[in-house]
């Protein structure tokens, strides 16, 4: 009954360090997403993968890269972390494909602090 699993849940980085957030879903969903949540800003889409083998930029992609490793896994990489990337990151997935309404299933979030 895992759904969407994100690791790590908490991370502190220094400016300029790199890290990768991992996400895995066990619902056989086609589409996966990375959002960031900041106070008063709601959720903003960073990158998404509509299907295995494809990735596309969202609203705020600068400073991030993603990899859709297989159908289950979608990782988010910060190559050179900046304080502006301090945020809570959410991975989400949905069924995708014809007939999907776009309902998202979310992980519990990864809280990242960049000093």
Catalog residues that contact other proteins under the rule CB under 8 A: 4, 31, 33, 35, 40-45, 48, 50, 58, 90, 92, 94, 96, 100-109
User: Least CB distance from residue 86 to other proteins, whole Å?
Assistant: 16
| Closer of 63 and 109 to other proteins (Cβ) | 109
Rounded to whole angstroms, the Cα distance separating 66 from 78 reads 9
Residues 114, 36 contacting (CB under 8 angstroms)? no
User: Least CB distance from residue 18 to other proteins, whole Å?
Assistant: 25
In the 8-state DSSP scheme, what is residue 54? -
The CA-to-CA distance between both ends of the chain, in Å, stands at: 35
Q: Which residues pair with 8 in a beta bridge?
A: none
| Closer of 85 and 93 to other proteins (Cβ) | 93
């Amino acid at each position: 009954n895992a759904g969407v699993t994100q690791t790590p849940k908490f991370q502190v980085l220094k400016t300029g360090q790199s890290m990768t957030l991992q996400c895995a879903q066990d619902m056989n969903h086609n589409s996966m997403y990375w959002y960031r949540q900041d106070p008063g800003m709601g959720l903003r889409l960073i990158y998404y993968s509509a299907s295995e083998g494809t990735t596309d930029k969202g609203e705020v992609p600068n400073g991030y890269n993603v990899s859709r490793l297989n159908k289950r896994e979608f990782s988010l990489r910060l190559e050179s972390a900046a304080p502006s990337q301090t945020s809570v990151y959410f991975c989400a997935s949905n069924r995708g494909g014809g007939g999907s309404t776009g309902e998202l299933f979310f992980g519990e979030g990864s809280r990242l602090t960049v000093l």
